[in-house]
Amino acid sequence: MTRMHAGFTGVVQTSWPRPRGWARPGRLDAGVDTLPGVGATLAKRLRALGIETVRDLLLHRPRRYERAVEEIPISQLWGDEEVAIAGEVVDVRSRRLGAHRTIVTAHVRDASGAIGASWFNQPWLAEKLKPGTHLRLRGRLGRYGFDVRSYDIGSARATADFAPVYPASEQVTSARLRELVRAALAAHAADVLDPLPAELELPPRRDALAALHFPADERQAEEARRRLALDELVALQLVVARSRDEDAVAAALGSPGQLVARYREVLPFELTPHQERAITEIDLDLAQTVPMQRLLQGDVGSGKTVVALYALLRAVEEGRQGALMAPTETLAEQHFLTVEPICSSLGVRCVLLTGSVGAAKVRDEIATGVAQIAVGTHALIQRDVEFADLAVAVIDEQHRFGVEQRRALAEGRAPHVLHMTATPIPRTLALTIYGDLAVSEIAKPPANRKPVVTAWVGAERSSEAYARLRVHLDAGRQAYVVCPLIEQSETRLARAAEAEAERLSRAELRGYRVGLLHGRLKTAERREVMRQFKEGELDVLVATTVIEVGVDVPNATIMIVQEADRFGLAQLHQLRGRVGRGAEQSYCLLVSRDKVELTDVAQSRLQALVETSDGFELAETDLELRGEGQLLGTRQSGWSDLRFTRLGLDRDLLGRARVLAAELRDEDGPWQDEPDRMLRDADHRGLA
Ligand code: ADP
Ligand code: MG
């Protein structure tokens, strides 16, 4: 604590510590607990924010910056506007206020006058505020003189103006994070390597990191962001470039045969023209020995899974294997529940591989080829699962393309890969970012589908929402209730969901059969709940966002999302996609906190959902709204995993990133590990 300003020399770029001797980038992997003042408790709180290493800390992006305020003479202090004053400490005093509170008061004088400035609960400050110390204070006139919100001691000028505000939790304040970042920069700035050539017209990476956290002004902060965005895009492009193994050979699968013909027959519906077109495109790819790299893009419920299964069966009918991979076990199970009955009616052996029971036997079946289709998480091809002859891999909801596939390469043979996503990146952006992916789009859902009617009501009318939900239940339909996204950790979220399910079954949902689904259930329990809901043994599923993707129960026609304002737009759209999957008219009721409490952005999000059910339109809206914003929730679920890039603003960087990536692709430099690291970080943030 007392070392807060040690080593800090100011924010001007050139005054930042220059590297002495060799940079040691490995040191950035040191745990945050190697920083002064970080003990076990703080380290744990930081971990909850996704910060484990010094690198994580340096890359923790401020959500915004405190705007600059006017610096005025002390004699002109008036009113309650936030301002800055600067002067010298005349004297300082520390007092106790009751058992647990202290107040430090310093008299500060400038040429025009003097005032008492007070700090609460920071007793150690008394030591530092020796008479004669120069201070710059930001705050406002209050009851005890000047209420200090932030301050600089000596010549530092970082705190008061353009101070970063982090997406912090209540347990780690922005001020605390600022201190930590400062310490990290002081100790580690020299370890930051600059992998890109110097002639970028953007600051070097090291300076960008410093300026990200302590910019002198808005322009510097924005330049820093852009530089880090460029790094991020280069890493992404490298992933793409490296996964493009020019020598990889896939099995050419010829033309569609008997099995897929029977598949079409067992489907209880005709494929839509969009699905047919996607299938034609996939068939063309599969006939080649160049491995397919195709993105199947379509809104939630548009019928992608049906197409994906087609591709998998194409492998099976050639005597080879298919793999279907989802980002979480719940989703994998869900896919399995959808896909397995169809496979079984076709006489195709389909297995589910999860971390738990029976894994050895299943692995064995996969390795010997007894299993023709394997469903699981991405671990299916990331880890040591051996396939007898994997020909087609479908990867669901995974934006971090390439790596899995690269790892799956065996003896020069690569599977054909179909990436599915229901979180539509606007088409142009998808093409620019994932430059080498072919895109198939299912632009329209099946015709029998009625768009979900969405309504937004304030909390005061939530009882009406439940009344409406009961009408559906009484008509034999089923429903979802999505719990608020208030908790940071999955475990606490699960506990909150449990409590909420209990409360509901005693109150609004009394007399109905209520089930509970959250991320902390054991696999078997989760599977059982899903089965019960699917078979109509439960009326209502109270759930966390684990139902976001993949759950498919056409009889569920209404959904209530509690505290919907806390969710991101992409997430809400995904959630809403769980209803409206049958021919019935379906409803999504977004219950928000009191409307007057909501930010403009939150209101716009909810309004956008009411107005359109088109995922592509919503994706564009989200990009616009995200200008300022953080997506809510621990999971940065959204249209990209990019941390610094703002796709709306940085289109010019994409082109540059692609050129740089092409140059760096085969270079043995500091970039070698960067793409993997980035993917790891993204995994960590997205799926932890
Ligand atoms: P996605 O994977 O894009 O979310 P799914 O493939 O899961 O969509 O399909 C959503 C629902 O629509 C499923 O219940 C599926 O059986 C049904 N479905 C898919 N294609 C059609 C179609 N052509 N006609 C009618 N229903 C369809
Ligand atoms: Mg689906």
* Least distant ligand from the CA of 341: 1
* Cβ of 581 below 6 Å from ligand 1: yes
What would the two tokens of residue 424 be? 């539509």
182 in Cβ contact with 4 (< 8 Å):
yes
CA gap 28, 19 in Å, rounded: 14
Q: Report which residue type is found at 517.
A: L
Q: Note the pLDDT of residue 627.
A: 44
* Least distant ligand from the CA of 302: 1
* Cβ of 164 below 6 Å from ligand 1: no
CA gap 681, 328 in Å, rounded: 17
E runs forming strands in 143-224? 145-153, 164-165
Residue with tokens 């994998």, as numbered in its chain: 332
CA gap 331, 343 in Å, rounded: 18
CA gap 331, 379 in Å, rounded: 13
Q: Note the pLDDT of residue 10.
A: 34
* Cβ of 381 below 6 Å from ligand 1: no
Q: Which residues make Cβ contacts (< 8 Å) with residue 636, sequence separation at least 6?
A: 685, 686
* Segments of the chain scoring below 70 in pLDDT: 1-25, 155-161, 168-170, 198-199, 239-240, 242-246, 356-358, 382-384, 398-413, 423-436, 487-488, 548-550, 620, 623-624, 626-642, 647-648, 668-688
Residue 511, by phi and psi: left (phi above 0), alpha (psi -120 to 50) or beta? left
Q: Which of 85, 73, 88, 83 is nearest to 140 (CA)?
A: 83
Coil, helix or strand at residue 456: strand
* Least distant ligand from the CA of 307: 1
Q: Note the pLDDT of residue 190.
A: 81
397 CA distance to ligand 2 middle (Å): 9
| Ligand 1 pocket mutation pick from 272, 299, 304, 305 by most atoms within 8 angstroms of CB | 305
306 CA distance to ligand 1 middle (Å): 6
Q: Note the pLDDT of residue 548.
A: 62
Q: Note the pLDDT of residue 637.
A: 35
* Cβ of 342 below 6 Å from ligand 1: no
What would the two tokens of residue 210 be? 């410093």
* Cβ of 568 below 6 Å from ligand 1: no
Q: Note the pLDDT of residue 9.
A: 33
DSSP code at position 545: G
Q: Note the pLDDT of residue 265.
A: 95
CA gap 409, 394 in Å, rounded: 15
Q: Note the pLDDT of residue 274.
A: 94
238 in Cβ contact with 661 (< 8 Å):
yes
* Least distant ligand from the CA of 445: 1
Q: Note the pLDDT of residue 557.
A: 95
301 CA distance to ligand 1 middle (Å): 5
Q: Report which residue type is found at 228.
A: L
DSSP code at position 453: E
624 CA distance to ligand 1 middle (Å): 30
* Cβ of 421 below 6 Å from ligand 1: no
What would the two tokens of residue 396 be? 């669901």
| Ligand 1 pocket mutation pick from 339, 419, 552, 584 by most atoms within 8 angstroms of CB | 552
* Cβ of 554 below 6 Å from ligand 1: yes
Which atom belonging to ligand 1 lies closest to the Cα atom of 304?
3
* Cβ of 302 below 6 Å from ligand 1: yes
Burial of 459 by CB count in 10 Å (0-12 exposed, 13-18 middle, 19+ buried)? middle
Q: Note the pLDDT of residue 21.
A: 47
Q: Which of 384, 368, 372, 282 is nearest to 320 (CA)?
A: 372
- Transcribe 202-235 into DSSP letters: S--HHHHHHHHHS-SSHHHHHHHHHHHHHHHHHH
Minimal-distance CA residue to ligand 1 atom 17: 303
Which atom belonging to ligand 1 lies closest to the Cα atom of 338?
7
